[in-house]
Amino acid sequence: MIERSAIELEGVVKEYLSHGEVVQAVKGVTLDIAEGEFFSLLGPSGCGKTTTMRMIAGFEEPSKGVVRLHGQDVTNVPPNRRDVNMVFQSYALFPHMSVWDNVAFGLKQKKTPQEEIRRRVGEMLEIVDLGGREKRRPRELSGGQQQRVALARALVNRPRALLLDEPLGALDLKLRQAMQLELKRIQREVGITFVYVTHDQSEALTMSDRIAVMNDGLVEQLAGPREIYERPASTFVAGFIGTSNLLSGTAAGGVLETGGGRVLVPGHDGVVSVTIRPEKIRISADKPDGELSALPGTVAEVVYLGTYTSYAVTLADGAEITVFQQNAQDATTTAERGDSVWLSWQARHSYVMESR
Q: Map the footprint of Mg ion across residues 333-352, applying CB under 5 A.
A: none
Instruction: Please name which of 233, 252, 229, 253 lies closest in space to residue 241, comparing C-alpha atoms.
Output: 229
Return the residue of 3, 4, 11, 23 that touches ligand ADP, per CB under 6 A.
23
Q: According to CB under 6 A, which one of 33, 49, 141, 293 is a site residue for ligand ADP? A: 49
β-pair type (308-315, 320-326): antiparallel
Is residue 45 part of the contact set for ligand ADP (CB under 6 A)?
yes
DSSP state letters, 147-173: HHHHHHHHHTT--SEEEEESTTTTS-H
Q: Is 25 in the site for ligand ADP (CB under 6 A)?
A: yes
Q: 158: closest CA among 88, 108, 84?
A: 84
We find the least distance from the C-beta atom of residue 44 to Mg ion, in angstroms, to be: 10
- Report the residue from 47, 57, 168, 292 that binds ligand ADP according to the rule CB under 6 A: 47
Distance CA 86, CA 106 (A): 13
Task: CB nearer to Mg ion: give 51 or 102.
Answer: 51
Residues from 223 through 252 that contact ligand ADP (CB under 6 A): none
- Select 50 or 187, whichever has its Cβ closest to Mg ion: 50
Does 51 sit near Mg ion (CB under 5 A)? no
Strand ranges inside the chain, DSSP E: 5-18, 21-34, 38-42, 64-69, 72-73, 84-87, 161-165, 193-198, 210-215, 218-223, 245-251, 255-258, 261-264, 270-276, 282-284, 293-304, 308-315, 320-326, 340-345, 351-354
Member of 3, 11, 46, 132 binding ligand ADP (CB under 6 A): 46
Among positions 18, 76, 109, 307, the unique one binding ligand ADP when judged by CB under 6 A: 18
50 is an interface residue for Mg ion by CB under 5 A = yes
Binding site for ligand ADP (CB under 6 A): 16, 18, 23, 25, 43, 45-51
Binding site for Mg ion (CB under 5 A): 50
